Amino acid sequence: MALSIQQRDQRFGFLLTLPGLATLFIIIIFPLVFTIITSFYDYTLLNPNHDDFVGLENYQEVLEEEYIGHSVIITIQFVLATVFIEFIIGFALALALDKVQRFKSIYYLILLAPLMINPVVVGLMWRMILHTELGIMNYLLKLMSINRVNWLGDSDIAFWTIVFVDIWHQVSFMTILLLAGLAALPREPYEAARMDGASALRCLIYITLPLMRPVIIVALLLRLIFAVKTFDIIYIMTKGGPGIATDLVSYFIYRSAFFSLDIGRASALSVGLLVIVLLLTFYLYKYMRSPN
Amino acid sequence: MAEIILKNLTKIYSGDVLAVDDINLKINDGEFIVFLGPSGCGKSTTLRMIAGLETISEGEILIDNKIVNDIDSAKRDLAIVFQNYALYPHMSIMGNLSFGLKLRKLPLLEIEKRVLETADLLGIKHLLNRKPKELSGGQQQRVALGRALVREPIAFLFDEPLSNLDAKLRALMRTELIKLHRRLKTTTIHVTHDQVEAMTMGERICIMEQGKIIQVGTPIEIYKNPVNTFVAGFLASPPMNLFDASLTAADSEINIQFSGNVVTLPKKRFASLMKYIDGEIVFGIRPEDIYPEEITENMAPFDVTVLAVESLGPETILVSHLMDGQEIYARLDRSFKAGYNTKIRLYVDISKIKLFDSKTTLAIH
């Protein structure tokens, strides 16, 4: 029996989406389901099979883990520090760039350059710049008669070094989002405010910030979600060290899987992290869909 | 209360776009003046320069004899009502009305008193807790007006505030604005491209075209004696009928020939018309000075073909063709009737004819 036009359309549409669906399945759905299943088994690289079902034991172990608390705390610190500082710098940059008329594209190019660099390259680049003996940073400090700093080897400094590099890499993302928000603001309320007697600062406080609130929240949440998952910079620059000074949760999971070879426990940790990120994403999604 | 003087005021936009071209005008204290002109004539730019929202390229603006060129708009103590209202979208109506007063650090009780008074006056008291987007266009317009009123500024600047309203509401707000002005006696500059608004609201009208002031005067002065063909063709609806015509002298009379018709003028006009004899002029007659029959001796006939009879209720607009196809509008009594494509004879009141120089477009008196 011949297919109706509608059925043929549906079949054709399905064929078109098939490659995308297959890719999605292979690189996202399968690993996700595999991780969730594995988190309930005693699955190690020495014993890589789903033979020993252990229920919630992996999760219990994670909670009892000695250093997981430390990782969670420094991850929260890292996320708050990077997102907050990125927001302040990003907003200042966006406000400055919003009024620029000439050479706009050049500023944009400079601004976007870090974002276009692969995180691994960013890590390597900064590792070289910040190298204690050979790095250009310490050389410059020496020129100014300042003692050299062990940027990545000092457990008090390493955390802030990582924070700095992440900000350098990601601040333009924040700037671009906020800049788009500023560009979309209506011009009229500002003129009305000027006639009402508002100074530039008051316009910023009473007009710009309230009108930008939705954009600011979306920008903060997006960066928050990305920052929670930060891994590459840590892997390249400090490997969680010195000691466990920069051992963010994502790197902690990596160590559990590939140093302790305990895939089951790492899977349980991953599922935990996923739940947190999902909650943030869900909130973001709901916020963006809400009429206000 | 303020007297506003514009001296050689000029605005040149980036490069060489001349938006306002060397205008001079004195706006009296307490006056309601209307800037009228087609879009792009520079009327809004002039208003925005007075407000301090545009920089002044050349010339001076004086408010109460003080040059304000370099005074920030925040300190000029003027209030503007924008065409699109420009309310603060994130604030309640209460917030919108009180924002300017809060910035001026008025006591809270005083602010509340003034806001309530203004809201009461404009009939928006019940909307104070709402946000602008929950209001209709007309209500938003009232809030924008309230935001200007509540500050008790020295002058109001209205930038086409009624153009986004529907016809009925516009007529209503027109009357309300006039009433308001009679009560407050605050100097008001009202910018519009709507000549009905200008005629009904302005104590004086300032007509602008291409950045220049063409004519300033009371509505009736401008209506009666337009200085050039632009003003004649812009004011009133339908506007003055204008035709290219040629002048010839015969014996002791002057004949105006237009579109195959001849109108003979009395002698008293001779002197000013002598130099146009055997030359070109523009002949103008208002639709209301055309009649379907000869009601006085002082009338000249001409023949037309009826194109449309538009009954407006109290009156009828007759649109017809002259012999060469040019359209002519006549405002006739509501009892007038005529069939499509019939030939009829109309009469113009010779004393009401306006003549303009066809090169300079200026009126010949």
pLDDT digits (tens, 9 = 90+) for B238-277: 889 998 888 888 777 888 888 878 888 776 666 777 788 8
pTM comes to 0.77
| Structure-block tokens of residue B201 | 């609201």
Cβ contact, residue pair B103, A196, below 8 Å: yes
* Rg of chain A taking only CA atoms, in angstroms: 24
Cβ contact, residue pair B151, A189, below 8 Å: no
The CA distance from B323 to B343, in Å, is 10
Residues of B whose CB is below 8 A from A211: 89-90
pLDDT digits (tens, 9 = 90+) for B93-111: 999 999 989 988 889 999 9
Distance (Å) from the alpha carbon of B258 to chain A's nearest alpha carbon: 50
Residues of A whose CB is below 8 A from B151: 196
A69 sits in which H/E element: helix A68-98
| Structure-block tokens of residue B116 | 């309530």
Cβ contact, residue pair B104, A206, below 8 Å: no
* Res B229: pLDDT: 92
Give residue for tokens 């520079």: B42
pLDDT digits (tens, 9 = 90+) for B211-227: 999 999 999 999 989 99
List residues in chain A touching B: CB distance below 8 A: 186, 188-189, 191-199, 202, 206-207, 210-211, 213
DSSP three-state, residue B25: strand
Residues of B whose CB is below 8 A from A189: 86-89
Give residue for tokens 């087609």: B38
pLDDT digits (tens, 9 = 90+) for A125-181: 998 998 888 888 888 888 888 887 788 878 888 889 899 999 999 898 999 899 989
Residues of B whose CB is below 8 A from A202: 103
| B34, B205 Cβ separation under 8 angstroms | yes
| A178, B37 Cβ separation under 8 angstroms | no
pLDDT digits (tens, 9 = 90+) for B122-161: 888 898 999 999 998 888 988 998 999 898 899 999 998 8
Residues of B whose CB is below 8 A from A213: 90
A185 CB-near residues (< 8 Å, 6+ apart): A208, A211, A212
| B34, B177 Cβ separation under 8 angstroms | no
* Res B48: pLDDT: 92
Residue A188 pLDDT grade (very low, low, confident, very high; cuts 50, 70, 90):
confident
Question: Largest Cα–Cα distance in chain B?
Answer: 82
Point out the residue among A186, A196, A213 whose CB comes nearest to the CB of B99: A196
Task: Put residue B317 in one of left, alpha, beta given phi > 0 → left and psi -120 to 50 → alpha.
Answer: beta
| Structure-block tokens of residue B231 | 């003003």
Cβ contact, residue pair B99, A193, below 8 Å: yes
pLDDT at A292 over 60: no
